[in-house]
Amino acid sequence: MGKEKTYDTAVKQERAILVGVVRPGEKPEETKEYLDELAFLVDTAGGLVEHTFTQKMLKPDRGTFVGTGKLDEIKAYVKSEEIDMVVFDDELSPSQLRNIERELEVKILDRSNLILDIFAGRAQTAQAKTQVELAQLQYLLPRLTRLWTHLERQKGGIGMRGPGETQIESDRRMILEKISLLKGRLKLIDKQNETQRKNRAALIRVALVGYTNVGKSTIMNMISKSEVFAENKLFATLDTTVRKVVIENLPFLLSDTVGFIRKLPHHLVECFKSTLDEVREADILIHVVDVSHTSFEDQINVVNETLKDLGARDKDTIMVFNKIDAYISPEAEELNEGEKATLTLDEFKKSWMAQHNAPALFISALHKENLEEFKQLLYDKIVALHVERYPYDKLLY
């Protein structure tokens, strides 16, 4: 923990505003939740959120996403407050991006390239770096015209066709070549990793999965006594780490991997599929939930959906509700003085969370609360699986 800082806070922070469209039927707390998460992403990327704009719409405008009236309002704010970038909560189409950029004349990001940017800043291994670069190029490809318009504007804005088209074509070809190069490199890395996995002993494999920032790496560090980078930022972990762990006399493999998030860019999921092989091939999943987060139920659904995409939804899964120390009950505001807003371990065990999610455990990885029960359940599960798989192996237990 506490490795080197990824972002240098000494440089001037970029001033950002957020823009979200409120869909019909969306509850105010949902809108707040989406934009809070976007703000956390901007913060993680090193930016400073100055203001948030929302616009109620049946569906986003095809040309300008928020409609021209709202765009004028945003433009006035951008100019008067010297804003450096405008961040949209949804993926913008290439033409929306072009129109908005032309109007606002500052950097425009959408959720996808914000996430890509964070990933790019965090990638450590050759595999992660290649995966992120590939995703970035795939994101860029349909948006190439935008870059060219940009150059045209600097030159005076005439002659949008002629040389522009030729330039786009050659850029395009270059990017396509780079994409196929990166794909080739990834294939090679995948093959090496596959061989590595095959060479491992026939141990039971357990994978930590969950939404980003729920405490997966903290749990990994705690039970494997390793030093995986954990911090209160999104996507602290990008690469998969595998450790051999021994509980009592029982060895098994535990992996920690990239966290999931709602609206994860499609390209990114594709490019990170191989990083998630460890999840796909795991015998047991530990689905970690941050119970102190107001929308942890939504987060559980997002994780389950992502697991489904990966073909890993039907695996043997233990639900671990983490951060019980920071849990505040939704009725906390109505409590009288002296009454506790959190739950005791017994109350957690009797709650709907336990009843709906068997087997479920309630822990605090940070305060090392209830870890014995966690280890015991894991131990029992692994032993059961081991007996089933190697009925004649008497070396263990």
Ligand X SMILES: Nc1nc2c(ncn2[C@@H]2O[C@H](COP(=O)(O)OP(=O)(O)OP(=O)(O)O)[C@@H](O)[C@H]2O)c(=O)[nH]1
Applying CB under 6 A, among 214, 282, 378, 382 the residue interacting with ligand X is 214
Instruction: Report the site for ligand X in 234-253 (rule: CB under 6 A).
Output: 234-237
Shortest distance in whole angstroms from residue 107 CB to ligand X: 25
Residue 60, binding choice from Mg ion, ligand X, none, Cβ under 5 to 8 Å by partner class: none
Stretch that binds ligand X, among 29-37, 48-56, 269-277, 323-331 (CB under 6 A): 323-331
Number of residues that bind ligand X (CB under 6 A): 23
Ligand-binding site membership of 108 (annotated):
no
Applying CB under 5 A, among 109, 223, 236, 284 the residue interacting with Mg ion is 236
Residue 136, binding choice from Mg ion, ligand X, none, Cβ under 5 to 8 Å by partner class: none
* Residue 289 interacts with ligand X (CB under 6 A): yes or no: no
Taking the C-alpha atoms of residue 207 and residue 283, their distance in angstroms, rounded to an integer, is 8
* Residue 212 interacts with ligand X (CB under 6 A): yes or no: yes
Residue pointed to by tokens 């008067």: 80
Sheet containing 241-247: which strands, arranged edge to edge? 241-247, 250-256, 205-210, 284-290, 316-322, 360-362
Ligand-binding site membership of 235 (annotated):
yes
Q: Which H helix or E strand runs over 17?
A: strand 15-22
* Residue 92 interacts with Mg ion (CB under 5 A): yes or no: no
Ligand-binding site membership of 295 (annotated):
no
Q: What is the pairing mode between strands 107-110 and 241-247?
A: unpaired
* Residue 213 interacts with ligand X (CB under 6 A): yes or no: yes
Ligand-binding site membership of 298 (annotated):
no
**CB atoms inside a 10 Å sphere around CB 385:** 17
Q: CB nearest Mg ion: which residue? A: 237
Ligand-binding site membership of 365 (annotated):
yes
299 closest CA partner among 207, 210, 208: 210
Residue pointed to by tokens 């030729």: 166
DSSP string, 121-186: HH--SHHHHHHHHHHHHHHHGGGHHHHHHHHHHHHTS--TTHHHHHHHHHHHHHHHHHHHHHHHHH
Shortest distance in whole angstroms from residue 210 CB to Mg ion: 9
Q: What is the separation, in whole angstroms, between the first and last Cα of the chain?
A: 33
Question: Is the CB of 215 or the CB of 265 nearer to ligand X?
Answer: 215
Ligand-binding site membership of 316 (annotated):
no
Shortest distance in whole angstroms from residue 217 CB to Mg ion: 3
Shortest distance in whole angstroms from residue 19 CB to Mg ion: 29
* Residue 44 interacts with Mg ion (CB under 5 A): yes or no: no
Question: Is the CB of 49 or the CB of 291 nearer to ligand X?
Answer: 291
Cβ proximity of 345 and 370 under 8 Å: yes
Ligand-binding site membership of 366 (annotated):
yes
- Residue 53 pairs in a beta bridge with 19
Taking the C-alpha atoms of residue 266 and residue 261, their distance in angstroms, rounded to an integer, is 12
Instruction: Report the site for ligand X in 134-153 (rule: CB under 6 A).
Output: none
Stretch that binds ligand X, among 166-174, 212-220, 273-281, 312-320 (CB under 6 A): 212-220
Cβ proximity of 152 and 164 under 8 Å: yes
Instruction: Report the site for ligand X in 358-387 (rule: CB under 6 A).
Output: 364-366
Residues with Cβ within 8 Å of residue 202, at least 6 apart in sequence: 390
Shortest distance in whole angstroms from residue 4 CB to ligand X: 15
Ligand-binding site membership of 64 (annotated):
no
Shortest distance in whole angstroms from residue 282 CB to ligand X: 16
| CA contacts within 13 A on the Cβ side of 336 | 0
Q: What is the pairing mode between strands 241-247 and 250-256?
A: antiparallel
* Residue 217 interacts with Mg ion (CB under 5 A): yes or no: yes
Stretch that binds Mg ion, among 90-98, 215-223, 240-248, 294-302 (CB under 5 A): 215-223
Question: Is the CB of 38 or the CB of 365 nearer to ligand X?
Answer: 365
CA-atom Rg of the chain in angstroms: 24
Taking the C-alpha atoms of residue 99 and residue 110, their distance in angstroms, rounded to an integer, is 14
Q: Which H helix or E strand runs over 16?
A: strand 15-22
* Residue 237 interacts with Mg ion (CB under 5 A): yes or no: yes
**CB atoms inside a 10 Å sphere around CB 150:** 12
* Residue 274 interacts with ligand X (CB under 6 A): yes or no: no
- Residue list, annotated binding site for Mg(2+): 217, 237
Binding residues for GTP: 210-217, 235-239, 256-259, 322-325, 364-366
Give the residue ranges of the annotated binding site.
210-217, 235-239, 256-259, 322-325, 364-366
